[in-house]
Structure 1
Amino acid sequence: MTRTLAALIASHGEDTPAIGAPGRDWLTFGGLRQLSADVAAQLRGFGIGATDRVAIVLPNGPDMAATFVTIAQAAVTAPLNPAYQQAEYSFYLEDLRARALVVLDGYDGPALAAATPLNMAILRLHADPAAPAGTFRLTGPAAATPAPATLPGPDDTALILHTSGTTSRPKIVPLTQANIAASAQNILTSLALTPTDRCLNVMPLFHIHGLIAAVSASLAAGASVACAPGFDALKFFSQMAEVKPTWYTAVPTMHQAILSRAARNAEVIAANPLRFLRSSSASLPAQVMLELAATFNAPVIEAYGMTEATHQMACNPLPPRAQKPGSVGIAAGPLLRIAHEVEDKLIDGTGEVVISGPNVTPGYEGNPEANRKNFFMADGLRWFRTGDQGALDDEGYLRLTGRLKEIINRGGEKISPLEVDGILLDHPAIQQVVAFAMPHPKLGEEVAAAVVLREGQTATEREIRDFCATRMADFKVPRRVVILDEIPKGATGKLQRIGLAEKLGLAPAT
C-alpha cells in the first residue's frame, strides 16, 4: 500500500497533466517529479533535513500547490494563512519551531518581520510566469554543511497545521506521510477519481480541505488539478469555461455564492458538464444541496472532514447509491462510530462522533492533556473524539446535530443550531443563515440567528420569527434575527457560530 507522498505521484504518465492554473500551461507528472527532486536538493543545500519544519506563506495558486507537494516529499511543511498579521505569524512560527520560511521573491510583509528575530532561514520562491504552472526554484543562504539526502518515511511528519482555536490556544496537529497517503486514497476511492478527472480548486491551500481533497487526491489518482488564485464568484464561471473541470470542491458559503450567479451562466454550465460537485468543511444545508444538484445537473457529494483526520471521515456516495440531503454520508476510509460524550465507550443512538484509522493524526504535539481528552481505547482500537454530535441511520448515513461546543443550552434545553438553520432556510426570502448562542442572564444562552436575504426579497425580523414559530417549539425560535448583507466568515470561508454574538454586538437578552 502506498504510504508516502512521493509514492503517490511516482507511477503516473510522464506527459500527463498534473498541476495547472487558468491562463497557464500544465506542469506534467514528469515535470512534477523532476521539480520534487530539484527542490529536495535545494533544501538539503540550505541545511534543511527530512525532519526540519518549513513554514510556507504564499498566495493561493499553482505555486502554493507545487510548493506543498514538493517540500512535503523532502521535509515537514507548515502552510500559514497569507492574511495573518505580524503578531499571528510570530506566534505560529515560534510555536512550530520552523527552521525556514518560504515566501515569494520580493515579499517584504509581516511574515518576514516575524521570522527575522527567530533566526530562521528565509527561502525565496522564484516563479517564471512563462513556464508551466507551479514551476519554481528556491534561493536562500547556503549551509556550511548540507543536510543528509535521506527522504522521509511513512511515519515521518509531512504536514503540520494548527486547529482553529476559539478561546483556547490552537493545538498543533502533525500529519504523517502515511496519514496523507491514506486520506488521499480514501478520497479518490470515494469519488472514483481517474486520470481523466480534473479538479478546479478554489479552496485556500493553507487549509486541509484544499491540500488533501483537491490537490493530493487528484495527484494520487493521476488526475489534474487547476488552482485558481483564490475564490472569486465573479470569475468562477470563466475559470470553469477555460479549465473544463469534471468537479470542484468548496465550502457551503462558496457554493451559495456560485449559485447566486449560476442563472446568468447557464450556457457555461451546459457546455462544461460536471461529473459531481463536492462540499465539505461545514454542514451543507439540504436546500442548498438540492439547488446545486438541479442547477448543475450533477450529484452533490457532501463530505465530512477535519484536520485531525487528514480531512475526510465520511462522504455521501456517488450514484447509484443515494445522496441524502442533510447527511454527511457514510464512513469513507476510517471506521466511524458513536461514543458516549463523557464515558470512553461506544454506544448506539445520538452521541459524539468518533473515528479510527490510518488517516488519523498520531496525536497533538506537546499536549498530553488534549490527547487524554480526545483519544481513547475501545474494542481494541484507538478512537479520536471529533467534538461533533450526531447519529447513524439504519443505512450507516451520519447526520450531525452540531459541534458539542456549539449546541445551544437554553436553561437546560439543548438546541441544535443546524436544526434551526434548516428551518430558517425554508423561508422563501432567506438565502443564507447561521444560528448561534446569545448570552442570557437567566437562561445562560438563548437562540439567535443571522440571515442574508435573497436578492430582491424582503422580510422583517418579526416575520421571520413568526415563520419559525409555526415550525418549531417556542424554546427553539430565535429571540433575535439579525438581517445582514453578509455574514462574517473565518479565514477559510466557513461560517463560525462561536463568537458571532460578540461580533454582531448583541447585548445580553433581558
Structure 2
Amino acid sequence: MGSTMKALLAPHPEGAPAIGAPGRDWLSYGGLRALSEKVRDQLRVHGVGAQDRVAIVLPNGPEMATAFVTIAQSATTAPLNPSYREDEYAFYLDDLKAKAIVLADGDEGPAFAAANRLGIAVLRAVVAEGAPAGAFSLQGPVAEPAPAGEPTENDVALILHTSGTTSRPKIVPLLQSNVAASARHIAESLALTPQDRCMNVMPLFHIHGLIAAVSASLQAGGSIFCTNGFNAMNFFAMMKEARPTWYTAVPTMHQAILTRAGRNADTIKEVPLRFLRSSSASLPAQVMEQLRETFGAPVVEAYGMTEAAHQMCCNRLDLQKPGSVGVAAGPKVAIAHETENRIIDGTGEVVISGPNVTPGYESNPDANAKNFFEVDGLRWFRTGDQGAFDEEGFLHLTGRLKEIINRGGEKVSPLEVDGVLMDHPAIQQVVTFALPHPKLGEEVAAAVVLREGMTATEREIRDFALERLADFKAPRKVVILDEIPKGATGKMQRIGLAEKLGLAEPA
C-alpha cells in the first residue's frame, strides 16, 4: 500500500480511462502517468524542487484535477479559489511562501497581478488543440533548474487554509501519507472499483473534491468525469454524457438537483447510480430520504474536514441513518471532554486520531496546543464539533461548538432546529443561527427559503416550531429569503449570518 500520491496511480492498467470531461477524449492511466513525469521535469527545469510550494489557480475542470494530481507527485500543491480578488491572492501567496503559481494560458487576472506584485514565477498550463481531458504542458520563465528527486511520504503534498470565519485562516499542511491514507479510506468505505466512475461537480480548490472525487477514484483505478463545476441546469445533461456510477456533493447541491429531478426521470433511469455521497455540511434527513426515493440508490452521508484530509466518518453502504454522519471510516473517532484532555462517554467534542490527520497547523503553536492532545500514546485532534455515538457506533452531531446557541444558559443545537423546520411542507432550505440579544446573550433565529409556488408567514413557521420543540428552542425570529448566503464551497454559514442579514451590529 503506497503512501504517496505517485503510489496512487501505480497499479492501474495503461489503457484504463482516468480523467474525462464534456466533449473531450478520455485521458488514460498511462497518459496520466506520462503527464506526471512530464510535469515533474518541467517543474524542475523551472526551478521548482520537491519541497517547493506551487499555488494552482485554474478553472474547475479536468486540467485543475490533473494539475493537482501531477504536481502533488513532485512538489507541494496549494490550490486557490479562482474567484479571489488580487489582495486575497497576495495574502495567500505570501502566507504560503509559494515558489510558483500555475495559471491558465492567457489568464492575466487578479492572481497574475498578485504574483507579479510578489515576484512569484508564473507557470502557464497550456492545453493543445484536441488534447485529451486534463492533458497540458507547463511553460514559464527560464530559471536555475532545481535538483532531481521526489517527495517522500513525510513531505507535504497539499496545503490548504481553514476557512476562518472569525479569525485569520490557519495553514493546514497535509503530508503525502495523509492524502494517500484518506484516498484509501474513502475508496474502502464506498467499495470503489475500476468500474466506478465519479462525476465531479465539487470545486477542486477544496478538500472534498480533491480527495473524495479525484484521489479516491484514482486509488481504486476508477475514472472521474470533470465538469466545469456545479450547475443544476446542466447536471442531468452531464450525467447522460458521463454515465457515472456515483457523485459526491454538498447538501445545497443535492437540493438543487432534486428540484430538477422530476423532469429528468428518463436520465435517472437510463444512468442508474450505485450510490450518492453527501459531505461538508449536515444533510437534512428529509433530503436524504427524497434523494434515495428519486435515484433508487443509497445516499451515503460522510463527515470530513480539511485537517483530516477530508473523511472521518461515513454511513455504510448497507445501512444509512438519516441525521447521522455514519461510523468511523479511516481514523479512530472518539468523544472528548470539551475543556479537559480526556476521552469520555456520552456527548462531547468529537476527536480523531489516524494516518490521515495533519501533523499540525503551520507556524501556529497556540492553535496546535489548543487543538491537539495526547492520551495513552495516541495523538488526538479536536474537531470543534459536538456529538455522540449511538449503540451501533453511528455518530450524531449536534453542531459546531461555536455554533451552539447559548440562550440565557440554555444550549440549543441549530441542527436540531433545522431538522424540525425542514418538516414544514413549504420550507426548502433552512439555517438556524444565533441572534445577539441584550439580556439572554443569544436568541434563536432561522433563515428559510420557501419551495417554489408555496407560501408561509414568519408567524406560521414559528407556531409550527413551537408545536414540536421546547419553547426555548423555537426561533424567535424567522427571516424568509430568496437565497441563503453561502460560502465559496456551497456551504450555508451560520456564524456571522445575523450580521450578513443586517440583524446585528458587526462584531
Normalising to structure 1: TM-score of the pair?
A: 0.98
2:212 alignment partner in structure 1: 213
Q: Any residues of structure 2 matched to 1:291-330 within 5 Å, and which?
A: 291-319=290-318, 322-330=319-327
| Identity, % of aligned positions | 74
1:354 alignment partner in structure 2: 351
Q: SS of the counterpart of 2:157?
A: strand
2-side partners of 1:494 and 1:245: how far apart?
24
Q: SS of the counterpart of 1:369?
A: helix
Specify the code of the residue in structure 1 equivalent to 2:325: V
Deviation string, structure 1 residues 281-325 (Cα, Å, up to 9, x no partner):
001010000000000000000000000000000000111xx2000
Q: Which moved more, 1:266-275 or 1:113-122?
A: 113-122
2:381 alignment partner in structure 1: 384
1-side partners of 2:277 and 2:433: how far apart?
26
Instruction: Report the Cα offset of residue 118 of structure 1.
Output: 1.3
2-side partners of 1:452 and 1:500: how far apart?
15
Q: SS of the counterpart of 1:458?
A: coil
Matched, 1:260 2:267: no
2:42 alignment partner in structure 1: 42
1:504 alignment partner in structure 2: 501
2:483 alignment partner in structure 1: 486
Q: SS of the counterpart of 1:206?
A: coil
Mark the runs of 5 or more structure 2 residues left unpaired by the alignment.
Answer: none
4+ residue runs over 3 A deviation: none
1:93 alignment partner in structure 2: 93
Matched, 1:126 2:123: no
Deviation string, structure 1 residues 440-499 (Cα, Å, up to 9, x no partner):
111111010011111111100000001001000111111111111111100000010001
1-side partners of 2:173 and 2:142: how far apart?
28
2:6 alignment partner in structure 1: 6
Specify the code of the residue in structure 2 equivalent to 1:330: V
Q: SS of the counterpart of 1:282?
A: coil
2:362 alignment partner in structure 1: 365
1-side partners of 2:440 and 2:490: how far apart?
31
Mark the runs of 5 or more structure 1 residues left unpaired by the alignment.
Answer: none
2:142 alignment partner in structure 1: 142
Q: SS of the counterpart of 2:448?
A: strand
Instruction: Report the Cα offset of residue 408 of structure 1.
Output: 0.4
2:279 alignment partner in structure 1: 280
2:181 alignment partner in structure 1: 182
Specify the code of the residue in structure 1 equivalent to 2:54: V
1:237 alignment partner in structure 2: 236
Instruction: Report the Cα offset of residue 129 of structure 1.
Output: 4.6
Instruction: Report the Cα offset of residue 507 of structure 1.
Output: 4.1
2-side partners of 1:30 and 1:472: how far apart?
58
Q: SS of the counterpart of 1:470?
A: helix
1-side partners of 2:129 and 2:495: how far apart?
41
Deviation string, structure 1 residues 315-356 (Cα, Å, up to 9, x no partner):
00111xx20000000000000000000000000000000000
1:393 alignment partner in structure 2: 390
1-side partners of 2:119 and 2:44: how far apart?
18
Deviation string, structure 1 residues 17-38 (Cα, Å, up to 9, x no partner):
0011121110000000000000
Normalising to structure 2: TM-score of the pair?
A: 0.99
Deviation string, structure 1 residues 100-154 (Cα, Å, up to 9, x no partner):
011011001011111112111110110125111000001001223x111100000
1-side partners of 2:149 and 2:305: how far apart?
31
Specify the code of the residue in structure 2 equivalent to 1:273: P
Q: SS of the counterpart of 2:468?
A: coil
Specify the code of the residue in structure 1 equivalent to 2:181: A
Q: SS of the counterpart of 1:164?
A: coil
1:422 alignment partner in structure 2: 419
Instruction: Report the Cα offset of residue 167 of structure 1.
Output: 1.2
Q: Any residues of structure 2 matched to 1:469-484 within 5 Å, and which?
A: 469-484=466-481
Matched, 1:250 2:246: no
Instruction: Report the Cα offset of residue 171 of structure 1.
Output: 0.2
RMSD of equivalent CA atoms: 0.7
